[in-house]
Every structure is written in structure tokens, then in C-alpha cells.
Amino acid sequence: MKPRYQVSKAAIELIKSFEGFRNTAASLTDGRWTIGYGHIRSTREGAEVSQQDAEALLIYDLIDVADAVNTLTFTPLSQNQFDALCAFVYNIGVEAFRGSDVLKHINEGRMLQAACAMELWRRAEFQGSSLIIDAMVRRRAAEKTLFLTPARGWVPAPSAILRPMLDVDTLGQVPREPPTDVTSPLEGADPTPERVEPPLSLARPAPAAVGSSSEGPSPSPPSNPSWPLRFETGDADLRSESMPAPDVQSAPDPAPAPRDTFGLRQDPLPEPSVAATWNIVDRPKVNLEPILTVAAPALALTIGGIYWSGHGTLGGGFFHPLVIGWLVCLIGLAGLSYAAYLLLVDLGYIEPLHDTGD
């Protein structure tokens, strides 16, 4: 008999972290009110609650959730699996869980498939569209992690022995677009969710162009108190003004720097010679005229002999229709064999039995 479980602190803390605490009642679109950590049943307009009382209301709501999970599941569960399912059902509802693939996989004993199916409940109605919500993706991931956490420790899977590979069958589960980041205010009576815009990155100045023209005015030196530069080399002071300007016109054109080819050869490949090309031979042409001349009457004799043999009886001497039918059938088969021989010779599969000459 499957034991009946009770919700532990792990499920309560997981639900609290994603529901958020609301100390005053907020109205829902269906006319009901919510307060605390998602409590709806006894909430009225203007109600207020403390965190301690809100947790008590959450435990009260989880009584029906735990009873539904115990009743609908037939496979024995661990405490972590039960807590994860209670947190999952508290979010999607008992009726949705009753018809979900998560429950189907659990009752079939396929726990890993059930955990993966939990992640698919990540959409919500927002501003008239069904969108993948960022917070729901994270909530499903937390529930899945708790569901898969074994009571006796993790099973080792050494990387040097079990090298991970991409599961191409699950590529369709990756969202095509980034999930929508949505938040619901926890203060006030209006809990309408709002889209969270990503923060703008700090503007950075564009880097100077490397290949800028040299015809313009030269950039002025930076206004630095240490300018001109001073290099201490013993007793001598080297200043930038005392350094001779390079003769730009007399400087030879620099040779192009060799490209890093990463070990690849640089000399051009030789042109392919005629001897190195493939010798493409045309397919042999089949002369169908002599083959059909033999095959057509041979096929007719074979069919006629079979038909004639089927309508005769034994007895009556050598010229009985049954004997004649067999002989005609054998002549037809011999003709078909000769036609097949001619075809194989034309295709080049066998050599002719005699030299036909030029």
C-alpha cells in the first residue's frame, strides 16, 4: 500500500520564494481577492495579514493539494518528489495536474520523464498573449531540481567516463525567443503584472579609427603634468623634443607581414595533370533488338506451354496435350535464358562464349 505523505518545510519555502508575500488583499481579474502567499479562499477586500499568519494560510491551502497528490498518484514517491509535486500543483491547480503528462508519467513509473514534463508549464497570459514567463521557467527548474534530488545522495556520473552528448530530441523545448520578464507588485490592491525592461548598458565611447587619414591635423599631446616624458637613465635626461623626427619619405615600404597559416602550406597547388584525372568510361550501350527478338516469342511459348499443360491430363502417348505443353514451356524457358545471356553480354557482366570478330 502506498504511504500518504505530508508537506514538509522544503515545499513551503519553495512556494513562498516564488509567490512573494502580500500583506494587503489585492483584487484579481475574476473578482476574487488574494493575500499572503497566494491565499484566495477566505480573502476579502481590505484584509491584512502578517507573515506568520500568511504561512499558516499557506499550510491550510496545502492540505487539499497534498490530498490530491496522494490520491492521484499510484507510484510510491520520495519526500522530495512529493514536496516538488505539491509546489507544482499549488501553482497550476489540481484540475490541470489531473490531466497533465506529469501525472501520467508518474503513474507509469517514469520519474525522469515526469520531471522533464514539469518544465513545459512555463507559459501565462500576459497582455492578451500567451508568453513564456521568465519567473515560471525558474520556478519549474526549482521544482524539477527538488523532484530529482535523491534522498540518499546523488548518483555519480564521472565526466571522464560518461561524456555528455547533445540530445537532439529535446531541441524543440528550448524557447525560440527570450522569456518575458514579468513582475507583479506586492504592495497595494492592484496586482496587475508589469513587464520588466532590461537595464540599459552603460554607454562607452567609440574607439578611434585605426586606419584614419593622415592628412588632417596631428592630435595634440595629452594635457598631462608629466609631459614631456622624462626617462631617467643615469645622469642623462631624455626628452621627447630632443628625439629626431623620422624621415617618412625615405622610409621604404614595409614588406607585407607573413600571414599566420597555422601550419598550412603556402605554395600554390600544382595544376592537375591529364594522367591524374579520372578516366571516365561511358556505360555500355545495350542493343535491344536481338534481345527482344528472342525474348518476345520465348515468353509467349512459356506462357502458352503453361496454359496448355494446365488443361491436359496424363496418358494418351507422346503427342498428348500435356506433354506437348511441357515441351513448349521448356523451349520458351530456353529462349528466355538465351535472351538474358545476350543482355548480360551487352552490359559487360560476362564474356561472350565465342569471338564475334570486328
Q: Would you please indicate which residues are annotated as catalytic (active-site) residues?
A: 19
Strand partners, 162: none
Q: What single letter denotes the amino acid at residue 224?
A: N
Sorted by sequence, the CB contacts under 8 Å of residue 314 that are 6+ apart come out as 320, 322
Cβ-based burial of 140 (10 A; exposed 0-12, middle 13-18, buried ≥19) = buried
Choose among 238, 328, 17, 48: nearest CA to 142: 17
Strand 33-36 and strand 22-27: pairing?
antiparallel
**How many angstroms separate the Cα of 189 from the Cα of each of 25, 58, 161, 240, 256?**
6, 20, 56, 71, 72
